[in-house]
Structure 1
Amino acid sequence: MKDTFRISSLRTVKSPSDPSVTTYFAWVNMRNLPDDMPTKVNPREVNMRTTTAKKLLDAVSNADPYFDIHNRGMVLLANGVKFESSNSTLEIDFDDEEDRYGVLDGGHTYEAIKQRRKDIPEDMDKFVRLEILVGNDLDVAALSDARNTSVQVSDIALFNLEDRFEFIKKAIKDQPYGNEVAYKDNEDKRIPIADILRLMYAFNIDNFPDDNTVPISSYSGKASVFKDFKNELAAHHLITDENKPDPKNIYLKLTPWIPTFVKLYETIEVELPDKYREYKDGKAKLGAVRGIEHKQGQTEYTQTGKEYNISSGFIMPIYGAFRALLKNTSDGKLDWYFDPIEVWNSIGTALVQNTFDTDTNPNSAGKSKTLWQANYRIVENEKNRRRIEQLEQMQF
């Protein structure tokens, strides 16, 4: 879709770090702002009942003319922008990909303007600033995480104050990264708790029991992951006397396996280059792939040495496929059909091949339901093959 509207001022800036990215800063009279811009790309739900939202509503309709100075405005992702200087109109092309283009940040501001601009005094013009980013290779997930942090971080910090992460803290306290997880705002530690939650979310077999639904949000954003964790605690609440969740809570059941999740993720991250070489018969350079940098470094959790920096958009659809190996046991816990590391050793090359044959754009790969489903089926087929082999051995 495209929106065309009159603007009051426009500035255009090429990114010095990536000249293919252009940012347009436009100041728009609130009365001229379109009311149909897509908002699906924004991971934060709009809730106009909060105190902050009510202040925004008042800021739109009150007699203070300096909204564009006091408010940080809205951030949009667009496929293209055209400006017609003869009549000061701006055309924004959002294409048809609502999960890629639209209002990335400032959803509450946008909703407040739509609800209250009719109440702006007739003799007053009020403006909102739009920051519109255009670029073929923009990483939507990374931008979303960077631009939508304030509410999420505060919510996570609040959960920490209420000891809602206590069962996770206890589970990883003896791990080498146990004291490196940040549960508070601005805590000087290497690993955000959101990263741990993402690893667990990808193995939530209550929500994602097969290949019909896939945990793409473990790659695409923190908001959905934290919301799921929060909702699970609400559904299977804390047992106050023991300060731990109800045993039916999927995250409680996943917690003992956090070290395994970490080991699996980092094993894939470290060994993916070797699997890629096997898949390409050593004839292609992984560092030439977008989203992969040939640079010595260390993994996030265990600080293990690695040869490449690899976008999680390639790793997560492989990592998440191994939930096919997880099962519920008769005593209400979780266990593995087979050791996921051992299975990775057997079929890792096939998973890497399927991933890079499907897409070499990390953002597209990370959000590709088709890729997640196909990788899951590869692991599931290996699981079924091994189970049949076990049964045959029992018969003899």
Structure 2
Amino acid sequence: MEGQIMTKLKFKVNALRTLPSPYKAENKDAESLETIHYLLVNMKDLPEKIPLDVNPRVPKMGTNVAKRLLNAVVEPETDFYINNRGIVISAKSLVFNSSNSEVTIDIGNQDDDDENDDRYNYGILDGGHTYTAIMEKRDEIPEDIVKYVRVEVITNVVNITRLSDARNTSVQVSDIALFNLEDSFDDIRDAIKNEPYADKIAYKDNERKQINISELLRLMYAFDIVKYPDDNAAPIQSYSGKAQVFKRYKDAFDTAFYKSLTKQLPLLVDLYDLIERELYLKYNDYKKKSGVATPRFGNVKGVENIEKGTKTNFLNSETSYSISSGYIYPIFGAFRSLLKFDENSGEVSWLFNPLEMWDEVGTTIAQNTFESSNNPQLAGKDKQLWLSNYRIVETQSLRNLLNKN
């Protein structure tokens, strides 16, 4: 159907090479590991309308760089596939049919209403300008010339944000930085003006400051109870999808809910810092209750015991452990069950103080998290873990309400 966003991409390739994960031999769940496929593709065989939502940048074809790309597609030289970095696609899977040299690439459910947010996990995450230039100009390639482009397909990407940040390194003003020029972060500046990290937030590209503004947006997204009001869905993208987090803020920052939620940023930061600082204590507590005499938190995958000590991400609190955010976010996001929004007043409020609730449920929620997953990148995207942690906090709050009465 015309205009439909494809979920399966089928096209011919001139060559294909596959690079499996080097950790495959030592991992029992080898099928979940990333695999890289290198393709050489005739420009005219590339499918149309490959989604670009996962890409943090929207192609702007009026720049000098973009114009050079457009010219490079149609010029008679055949070295485009050597000179250009190519296109990077994140996908669920890739199947190669050797009989007809055709690949089938699964990029998930690209529907706007897909609760798994495949639109922000699968598609073109780098090379959007290259792809757009090819789509716009390939019909003008001389008939006697075949031009190729390199396509790299990575399947089973666990942390799409890290990969996207690493690949999108060209110097260009980001959408977040442009948004900042419109003073659209003023509410955030005002909310944190008295906090010790107020001067450590980078609102512009290449600012040498400790915390990027996107980190604060992620905290708010994890407590977006308008978009995620209950335990039917989870704000997993606060961990893994910076592009969607920013898009949500851009669309909703001027609503009553987000204006009120923004005022809670100091408390959200305090909560994240508290979890980061005390998670090892809760882990040790649950292990000892399970009969482990000497818990070894530093041996957990994704946790590093730093003898000289280190600092927490936001408040620079002293800690001995560097903990992957893949463990912290499913715990942090569980406390959104305590947040309520009154549409009449336009204000959010708390059933109970989340910092105090952490003391009550920390051990249980740590046990649930570390017994559910020993891989932080998988934990951060585990919907069932997010939801079960949410229910732990929700259940305790209901107990507290009953005791009040």
The TM-score by the shorter chain falls in which range? 0.7 to 0.9
**Aligned partners of 2:93 and 2:105 also within 8 Å:** yes
Alignment of 1:237-386 (within 5 A): 248-281=255-288, 283=292, 284-295=295-306, 296-329=309-342, 331-386=345-400
1:177 to 189, 193, 197: 197
Percent of paired sites with the same residue: 44
Structure 1's 141 and 45: CA in aligned 2 closer, same or farther, altered over 3 A?
Answer: closer
For residues 310 and 331 of structure 1, do their structure 2 counterparts lie closer, same or farther at Cα, with a shift above 3 Å needed?
same
SS in 2 for 1:280: helix
Where does structure 1 lack aligned partners over 5 or more consecutive residues? Answer: 237-247, 392-396
Matched, 1:129 2:136: no
**Is the contact between residue 266 and residue 299 of structure 1 (CA under 8 Å) also seen in structure 2?**
yes
Partner SS state of residue 198, structure 2? coil
Taking the aligned partners of 1:369 and 1:311, their CA distance within structure 2 comes to 17
> How far is 1:358 from its partner?
2.0
The yes-or-no answer on 1:207 pairing with 2:227 is yes
Match of 1:239 in 2: none
| Alignment TM-score, normalising by the size of structure 2 | 0.77
Shift of 1:227: 0.5
Q: Distance in 2 between matches of 1:155 and 1:287?
A: 38
Structure 1 residues 46 and 386, CA, compared in 2 at 3 Å: closer, same or farther?
same
Q: Which amino acid aligns with 1:113?
A: I
Structure-1 separation of matches of 2:16 and 2:206: 36
Distance 1:138 1:258, change over 3 A: closer
Alpha-carbon distance between aligned partners in 1 of 2:125 and 2:246, rounded to the nearest angstrom: 18
1:255 Cα offset (Å): 1.9
Q: Which whole-Å CA distance do the structure 2 matches of 1:220 and 1:203 have between them?
A: 15
1:17-166 to structure 2, matched below 5 A, reads: 26-33=39-46, 35=47, 43-44=54-55, 51=62, 55=67, 58-59=70-71, 62-63=74-75, 65=77, 66-69=79-82, 71-77=84-90, 99=118, 103-110=124-131, 112-114=133-135, 116-133=137-154, 139-148=159-168, 154-166=174-186
Q: Report the Cα distance in structure 2 between the residues aligned to 1:48 and 1:194, rounded to whole angstroms.
A: 21
**Do the aligned partners of residues 109 and 210 (structure 1) sit closer, same or farther apart at CA in structure 2, a change above 3 Å counting?**
same
Deviation at 1:3? 6.4
2:218 aligned with 1:198: yes
Deviation, 1:257, is 1.3
SS at match of 1:348: helix
TM-score of the superposed pair, with normalisation by structure 1: 0.79
Going from structure 1 to structure 2, the CA distance change for 1:371 and 1:152 (only over 3 Å counts) comes to: farther
The whole-number CA distance in structure 1 between the counterparts of 2:244 and 2:39 is 30
Structure 1 residues 10 and 22: alpha-carbon distance in aligned structure 2, compared to 1, 3 A threshold? same
Give the deviation of 1:106 after TM superposition: 2.5
Quote the offset at 1:368 in angstroms. 1.7
Residues 231 and 96 (structure 1), Cα distance of their counterparts in 2 relative to 1, 3 Å cut: closer
Contact 2:58 2:128 in 1 (8 A): no
SS in 1 for 2:305: strand
Alignment match of 1:226 (pick from 226, 229, 246): 246
User: 1:290 touches 1:361 (CA, 8 Å); kept in 2?
Assistant: yes
The answer as to whether partners of 1:144 and 1:221 remain within 8 angstroms in 2 is no
1: distance between equivalents of 2:93 and 2:390?
A: 35
Alpha-carbon distance in structure 2 between the residues aligned to 1:327 and 1:370: 22
Q: 1:154-213 CA deviation, whole Å, 9 max, x = no partner?
A: 211112211111121122121110100001111111100000111111112221211123
* Pair 1:353–1:170, CA change in 2 (3 A): same
Residue 93 (structure 1) shift? 7.3
CA contact (8 A) 1:61 1:121 kept: no
